[in-house]
Every structure is written in C-alpha cells, then in structure tokens.
Structure 1
C-alpha cells in the first residue's frame, strides 16, 4: 500500500463512501491493527466522537437515576492523580478529575475537557511531529465554581515535572514544554519529532487538578494539600466523603459540562473484601451495580452468572500478570536503603537461576485451572495491540530442564534439598497481594520449584497495603523488599510507549524518588534505553513496532520479568446497567455516560 492509497481511503471515510469498519479491515490485510487504523483516522480529524466509538447515551435529562454502587475489592488510599500509585487510586481520582481526552475501547481518542482531538486537518498537529495544540472546551467549571482555563493545564505541567513534588506522572511531563496560547488554548512542544503525542494531559496520566487549590503546594509540601483527600475536579460527580481504604462517596455535579449527564444522583465506590465476594455482590445478590477487576477462577464466575442477575464483562487490552525477580538485594541496606541499586541480588545475578525459575512456572495449568477466559497464558510482556506482540518468544514448563540448567551452573543440593552455591541458598521470599488466584498460583509455583531444589517462602500482603502509596510502608509493591513478586501491570493507552518505560534506567524506583519510579524491578540495560529513546522519535509505524518488539524480547529474555497470563479487563455488572468500558483507559474513564436501562 502506498501513501497515496492510504490518503485516498481516509478521504473516502470522510466522504462516507467507505465505512470505518471497511477501512479497518483493509488495513488489517496489510498488518495494521484496529487501534492503529482508528488512530490514523483520528490524526486526520475523524475522531472517536464522529466515528461513534463510544456507545450512544440515551438519558434525556440530568439526574434521576438514584444511586450508583461500585465495588472495588482493592480500596483506594488517596485522591490526587499525580500520586496515584496503583490502578485503584487512579480509578478513585477519575471519579472527580478529568483529562483533556481519554482512550475509547477501539483505541481512538475521545475528547473530554478538549473541544476536539488535535489532528493535521484541524491544525492541532504539526506535520513535523514537534507540536500539539489543544483547544479547550469553554464553560467548564471546577466543582467550587471557578473557571477551568489554560492556566490550569499549564500548572499541571509545572506541578508534574517538579522533582520536589515527586509525582508518578512526572515521566509524561518532564521532557516537554507547555505554552498558553490563550485562555482556552495550550500548545505542547516536543524536543524532537514525537509519534506518540497523546500522553501528557491524556487518560490516567492526564487528569487535571485545579491551580487555585494546588499552587501553594507545588513543592516538597505537595502531599500536605487538603485537596489530596477532598478533591475539587471538573467531573460528573462532586466529592462528598472519603475514608481511605474503605469508602468513597460523590454526588451529582449540577454544572457538569456535558448535557444530560450524569444520570445517577449519587456514586459510591466501596473498597475492601475480596474478588469472589465482589463478584457475588453483583452477579448473585445484586447488592452492587458493578464490580471491578474480578481476578476470580472462571468456574466460579460461570456459576455466579447462572443467577441471571448480572453479566461478566471481558474487554481485551494490554494488561499482564507477571512475576519479577529482584535485580537488587532486598536483604541488604546501603546508605539507609534496602534493595539499593548499589547492590546486586546474590542469586538472581546468575542467569541460570532466572532461566530455571522461568521454566518452573506452569502457565498452562494456571490458565486452564484458574483464570480461564480471564487469563490466557503468554510469553510476552507486551501483548497488545497485536502488531506490537513479539513472534520471537515461547514459554515452556519443564522441571527436568530446570534441574539440568541448575546442575550445569554448579548449584548443588544440600541435605535439606535446597540448592546452594558459594554460600548462597536458593531460598526466596515470593510476595503478592491477597487474592485467591494469586495464592493458588503461588502454590503451583512453589511445588514445581521444590522439585528443582528451590524453596519459595510465600508471602501474601493485603491488597490495600500492597498497592498503597504510603511511603512509610515496607510492604508496598513499589518498594519490592522481597526476592520475587507478582501482580498485574496495566496498559492504559493504545500505544506501548508509557507501558514500556517501566524498564528504562531513569525510571528506577528508589528512596530518592519516594519509590515512585516505574522501574520497580530495577533492571538496567543500555541497549533497552537506547532503543526506547529511538522509538520515542520514530514516525514510521512499522519501524516503531519493531523497536518495541525488540524491547519486549530484551526484558523477557533477561528472565528478570517472567510473563504469566494476559489480563483482559474482567468485571461484572447488573444486566440493566449500561457502562462504557475501555481496556486502554481507567474503568471510570467515561463514568459520565453510565446509566440504567429501563
């Protein structure tokens, strides 16, 4: 396909002589995925709204829908999106705060606080890939009545990039410049051609906080801001109350900037419990309208669905459940810091040990007997969109081979059966959150490891603690004060750039950045860093995909990261609840458009 052919097809879609679906199918024949095809349309002004990628909203007036009750078995602990470590804190923040745009299920951008999605056609995107101009929706107000303007957008850039703030969003804002054009227009300037421009101010990293409430907390005192626990946003619901680790309540925003929205009068996001009880509370008893992230054995979900009160929603995306092996030594302290980058793990520095642990992970059984529909086995860390999935990796479960690898590397069994070499024993603390499928996975892994002379001490941490943003808590997953750990990392954009920066050296989680860096395994590889930087500026989509495949192969090939199963979004909702879900964004990305069918 030539460039002229592509332009002609895009023109036909604009004129209506070729459907979006037809366009996507034709590009699929040339190896381009649906998200990439729809993103190409968005770049030329055919955005998510015009393409009807978001289901039609039916209510004809605001309010009147009664309460919306949502159950999160992993509770949120704070409400500032710039400090939102873990998905649940992002989700809670998204009830009140909004970005300029979000990602729809088909991988296109949908305007939220933006008046339109930037494109070459509307002159929002420069052809050299160096600037993006966002036009802001007019008439938007913060929940306290103050006007939302370009000053708020510029402030969020200043706040996020401030190292004294130490926000988890800093990686999206550090290397850009943001200029106020007028009260309702901002321009984002890049240092080089940037193919993935929809990062800053978009989706989970783009939720905007009000300048007038945070301007005095733009520094080391950022975590002292009262609004961190009493948010004032622009979203469809206004803050009522919040009990960290328990319950979040909101009420209808009468001045919301979208017509006839929201439908529900109040919203409650209840935290705590476990995934099975959350599924039961929707599918069997109907006590809640929606239950998030049902990491539950598929057989249990099928039995609960039989009550016919609700349904299980499965939305494909890029989330991945995986095991990580600590690059550093979590049992040593250097300069007052455990798992310091100045240390090296005494056992995992041997590639034979890491290879053996990969061979001992029985992904096939875990898929068949635990996850089912909710967890296909995979050998890739980066699985979606499909054009970014590597064809070069394979997973293998082979206890005999693991023993051979360890024997050849000189790890000998002691009297207790545990292998030892140079005074180092293959005995590891393996931690994860409290969750039945994860504990079953731990048990399967432990049994296989024992047969290879490796002893795994299983540790289960309450989810509200494990995924907490509490910098004083030693059991959070970002500190990783264990030898091994397992959890799901989420891919909240239909592009892998932010997802794959989890392994660049400048994102290492450490005491210096309050353990907010995204590289939690603390892996360093010069080739990976170089390729990532190259991909940031590669405008050719085919070449760029090849770079990300190489990144996947490097981190997976190191066996410091061992993919387990793909994690589509699995949730439950009552049969009469209409939701707008996307695997490329937060669950609450368009909570304004949820309603109850009558």
Structure 2
C-alpha cells in the first residue's frame, strides 16, 4: 500500500486514505510484482529519452472505474462509459480543446441567428451536415442517422440514461435532405447548443448497425449497443474485456485529422495501482485527484497538470423533506430542522473552507457561488460566496434559530475513502468546535450503500455529500440543484424552505429561455444573491483539475467541459 502523507492546515490534520477492498483490476499478482520492480528501476533511471518511451504507438490510460454501458442512449452523465463514447462517436458540434467555444463537428457550422441556423423566435435549429463521412462499419453518414439517433434515445427513454436532455426540449426532428437536419424546440432554450447538442446522449450512431442488431424498443436497452460501438469518430471500438480493459484503434478513414495512437483504457480504480503504474511508465495517463499529488510530485518522468477547475462542485445537501421517524438512531433534530434558512446559513458560515482547500484538495480548487461554477456562462466574480469560516455569524444565527443552548446531533451520509468523506470530516470538526453541544455523525459507507441511500425519494437522511454532475451551462445547475420543482428541489422539498419559492422558480425559468446574453446574465446575478441568503447546499469547494501523465506524452490538453476525465485521446502523441 502506498502511504498517503498527512497534511496539516488550519489546525487540522488530514490523512489521505483509501479503503482496502478486493478490486477487479487488469493487473495480475504477477503483474503487480513486475510493476513494483519496474518502479524501482524507474526511480533509479536517468531522465526519460525518446529511446525508452514505453508502449510506442499506444496510449495507456488508467481509469478509476469501469463503464456500465457504451450506448449513448443508455449512459448516465458522469459515468465511465462517457469517456469511451467521447472518443468513438461524434456529435453535431463539439467543444474547442482550449476554450468553452463551440466548434463544428458533424455539422459544418455552429448555427446562429446571423447565419440562418437559428430562427428569429429561437425555436428552430438547422444543421448543415458534413459530406463524405463514413461510419466505422463502412456505411455512409447522412441526416437520417442524426434523426434516428436522437429519436432512438427519446423512444428508449431509459431511466439510467439522459434522454430527458432531448425529450424535455425537442418537439420534433426533421430530415430536410441528406445533409440538412432540422430540430424544432417546444420553447426557446438558451443552452440548447451548449448543453444538449454536445451531450453524449446526442452522439450519432449508425442506423444500419442498430437495426441489424436488435433495433429500437421503448423502455428497453439494446444489448448489442451496450457492449459495441459503431460511430464516425477518430477511434474505432475493438474490444471490451470486462474488468480488464477497453481497446480502441485509430480510424484511418476519419473525416478530420487522424489520431496518432491506439488506445487501451485499463480498468481498475485502485489509486495505488494507478500511482505505481504511472511512475513505472506502464500508464501514460491516470485519472487523478489532489490526493495523488504527494505521491507523484517530483517523480521522474511524471508531469502533474493543474490547469483550471472541474465543473463538479463538491457539496453537502440539506434535506427539507425528511419522512417522519426515518432519521438514523442518535439524530436529535426535528424533521423540519433545515426548513429554517438561518440554520442553513449557519452551517455555511461555520464550515472551514480553507482547511478543506489546503488539506484534502492540496490547494487545488476555488469557491463558487450558489449555483454557478467558475468557468461557465453566468459566473459572476462579484457574486456573494461562502469562502471563509465565520464563527461569529454562525453562532449568531444558531442562537437566533433557538438551537444554540440545547444543541443537536445530525448525521451526514457519504461514500467512504474519498474527498466527499473528508469534506464531511471538515464539517464535523467545524461544527463541533463551534459548540460542544453540536454533534455531526459522519456515516461513511461503501459506494453501493451510498448509491442506494442517495436514490431514495424521499431521502431518509438529513444531509449527504457528493459532487454535482458537470455541465456547460448554468441552466443545468439551477434546474437540478436549485429549482423548487427540479430534480433535487422535489426530493429535498425546497419549497418547504425557500423564503419565496415562486420567485426562485420564476427567475430560473426565465433565464432558461432568455436568448439575450446580457439579460440572461442579469437573471443569474439576481439568483446568486437570493441563493446566497437562502442556501440549499453547502458547497465545500470547486475542485481543481489535477491530471498526471508521463513526460513523453505530447499535445496534452484537458477541457473540463468534456466528460471526465476531460481528455480527447486523439489529440495526443508520444
């Protein structure tokens, strides 16, 4: 086991830890022994030269978990399958590697009102498509494939998938001709291009391949497409060796610039194996978080990339919809505890943000407003943000809410052995040091147990910790995490706590359809003010981008707007 050093900051000591559990990894016991030996040789070796680049012609990426499906119509946002879908399938538009700007992909231009691609009322989008493109099975790409792919996802409408991104806004799809595709929306949607068209669910699949292998059945996954891929992207799918690896090969007939390296995605998840493998040169890139830095910093031949911020703020949710009698033993709070905005504000003021940033996050991160992450449209640097511990204000609010003298005990559930658990420990220290009558019980459980609890509706815990799903536009965050009738607003009962739930809903809904960017930004500015004073979350931090790779890897770039780990393998070379 690679030891994880303790970091001391603000009076706290954090030990980076990972649970020891049996993992299905692609390296055998014999392979691990060889890997350890290789590490020793690597540590003693001189600086890497071109002559000792390992696995020439092949990019080996170590992932932290295994895909559950490779079908764009079935994959869950943020799930490991999106990593592979990004490489093998194309979408109409893409996101530029070096900015948040949209660029053409299977469409030849980004639709605008000025170029006639968007109607004046914002309801119709027309995409001119690229000609001469072929799927990996040799069939020709046309507008029929685009319509088929989008309609297929909406017809399947799988609960684990993201079909709602399309069906919630798309009224109809139309093939104008072989290379013109038209979409009509049910109402104007300001983030349609940035959030829907570039989403993995909008990837274009081969109609011929689907129809030859099970077709489309409403409500049912397609077994063939879940484990096979036929796209137009820079990589062809070769094989998925379950619990071991996924292999891709360069598509020599790609319509754009060809990839330079074949790819093997090693499936494992054990952080120590990833660290050892990278140091030994067996891996070219590894999925990384700030807890890896101490083990990799200064390692020969290893570069730690630290550019930008992830679009997945780490947060703790307040539940305002707790079923009577459902709380864990030992919790003394009433079910309506978090209905009081003063208590939610007090928790936000009491949290030691600097300890979390400089401890578990090793200094890689920042603090974002409720709820517009840094790096997307709508983020306002002048917006109020919880970023410094303020015990005086927390004490005032707890006293005003009437809980200071009697105290309370409340539980927060989280996955064990990761940043979420460490965030909960910071909360525990912060609250309990404020008042010895306050108690935070951190329930750190296995991922499967947490997932079951997290999926409850209503939720039987007062608080839980995780990260937000990433998105390219504030509308997603506002709808999912702030709207009283949104995904978490409904589960958590936000309507029970907002001072003016109707106003919050009105502003979020207005911003969702406002096409004037100035007016839209003003709506989000107003929302930031309201949500600061009426917080439904404690946002511990917006985690910094940390990615480790070998020095011999050329062309490394990472864009947080791409699905995690935010890499496009076709851009790399050795």
Please report the TM-score for the alignment, with normalisation by the length of structure 1.
Answer: 0.73
4+ residue runs of structure 1 moved beyond 6 angstroms?
Answer: 330-333
C-alpha separation between the residues in 2 aligned to 1:254 and 1:130?
A: 36
Q: Which residue of 1 aligns with 2:263?
A: 266
Q: Secondary structure at the match of 2:354?
A: helix
C-alpha separation between the residues in 2 aligned to 1:464 and 1:570?
A: 26
C-alpha separation between the residues in 2 aligned to 1:164 and 1:81?
A: 11
Cα distance change, pair 302–254 in 1 and its aligned pair in 2 (3 A)? same
Q: Which residue of 2 aligns with 1:533?
A: 509
**Structure 1 position 221, deviation (Å):** 3.7
Alignment of 1:75-474 (within 5 A): 75-89=66-80, 90-104=82-96, 105-120=98-113, 122-162=115-155, 164-166=157-159, 167-176=161-170, 177-198=172-193, 199-212=195-208, 214=210, 218-242=216-240, 246-254=243-251, 256-259=253-256, 261-274=258-271, 278-279=274-275, 281-282=277-278, 284-292=279-287, 294-297=288-291, 301=293, 304-317=296-309, 318-329=311-322, 345-382=335-372, 383-385=374-376, 388-389=379-380, 391-395=382-386, 396-411=388-403, 418-419=407-408, 426-432=409-415, 434-435=417-418, 437-451=419-433, 452=435, 453-462=437-446, 473-474=452-453
Do 2:484 and 2:490's aligned partners in 1 also have CA atoms closer than 8 Å?
yes
Q: Which residue of 2 aligns with 1:575?
A: 551
- Alignment deviations for residues 255-311 of structure 1 (CA, whole Å, 9 cap, x no partner): 54235522123322424113x6535533x332211122x2224xx626623123121
**Structure 2 residue corresponding to 1:497, chosen from 475, 478, 492:** 475
C-alpha separation between the residues in 1 aligned to 2:307 and 2:559?
A: 7
Do 1:101 and 1:110's aligned partners in 2 also have CA atoms closer than 8 Å?
yes
Q: Secondary structure at the match of 2:118?
A: coil
Cα distance change, pair 557–162 in 1 and its aligned pair in 2 (3 A)? farther
Cα distance change, pair 479–552 in 1 and its aligned pair in 2 (3 A)? farther
C-alpha separation between the residues in 2 aligned to 1:197 and 1:386?
A: 13
Alignment of 1:62-81 (within 5 A): 66-81=57-72
Do 2:306 and 2:546's aligned partners in 1 also have CA atoms closer than 8 Å?
yes
**Structure 1 position 184, deviation (Å):** 1.9
Do 1:152 and 1:211's aligned partners in 2 also have CA atoms closer than 8 Å?
yes
C-alpha separation between the residues in 2 aligned to 1:582 and 1:402?
A: 37
Cα distance change, pair 589–427 in 1 and its aligned pair in 2 (3 A)? closer
Q: Which residue of 1 aligns with 2:4?
A: none
RMSD: 3.4
C-alpha separation between the residues in 1 aligned to 2:538 and 2:146?
A: 38
Cα distance change, pair 589–391 in 1 and its aligned pair in 2 (3 A)? closer
**Structure 2 residue corresponding to 1:482, chosen from 454, 461, 479:** 461
C-alpha separation between the residues in 2 aligned to 1:262 and 1:520?
A: 44
C-alpha separation between the residues in 2 aligned to 1:477 and 1:81?
A: 25
- Alignment deviations for residues 21-70 of structure 1 (CA, whole Å, 9 cap, x no partner): xxxxxxxxxxxxxxxxxxxxxxxxxxxxxxxxxxxxxxxxxxx9532111
Moved more, 530-539 or 497-506: 497-506
C-alpha separation between the residues in 1 aligned to 2:513 and 2:84?
A: 33
Cα distance change, pair 459–209 in 1 and its aligned pair in 2 (3 A)? farther
Cα distance change, pair 352–128 in 1 and its aligned pair in 2 (3 A)? closer
Do 1:538 and 1:544's aligned partners in 2 also have CA atoms closer than 8 Å?
yes
C-alpha separation between the residues in 1 aligned to 2:230 and 2:490?
A: 31
Do 1:165 and 1:218's aligned partners in 2 also have CA atoms closer than 8 Å?
no
- Alignment deviations for residues 74-120 of structure 1 (CA, whole Å, 9 cap, x no partner): 43322223333342332233233221122123121122222333345
Cα distance change, pair 392–266 in 1 and its aligned pair in 2 (3 A)? closer
Do 1:568 and 1:583's aligned partners in 2 also have CA atoms closer than 8 Å?
no
Cα distance change, pair 136–589 in 1 and its aligned pair in 2 (3 A)? farther
Moved more, 99-108 or 220-229: 220-229
**Structure 1 position 546, deviation (Å):** 1.3
Q: Which residue of 2 aligns with 1:37?
A: none
Unaligned runs of 5+ in 1: 1-63, 339-343, 420-425, 468-472, 510-517
Do 1:261 and 1:592's aligned partners in 2 also have CA atoms closer than 8 Å?
no
**Structure 1 position 144, deviation (Å):** 3.1
**Structure 1 position 505, deviation (Å):** 4.8
C-alpha separation between the residues in 2 aligned to 1:264 and 1:462?
A: 37
Moved more, 201-210 or 177-186: 201-210
Unaligned runs of 5+ in 2: 1-54, 329-333, 496-500
Cα distance change, pair 575–264 in 1 and its aligned pair in 2 (3 A)? same
Do 1:204 and 1:585's aligned partners in 2 also have CA atoms closer than 8 Å?
no
Do 1:508 and 1:522's aligned partners in 2 also have CA atoms closer than 8 Å?
no
Do 2:155 and 2:218's aligned partners in 1 also have CA atoms closer than 8 Å?
no
Q: Secondary structure at the match of 1:410?
A: coil
- Alignment deviations for residues 375-397 of structure 1 (CA, whole Å, 9 cap, x no partner): 12344431334752262424242
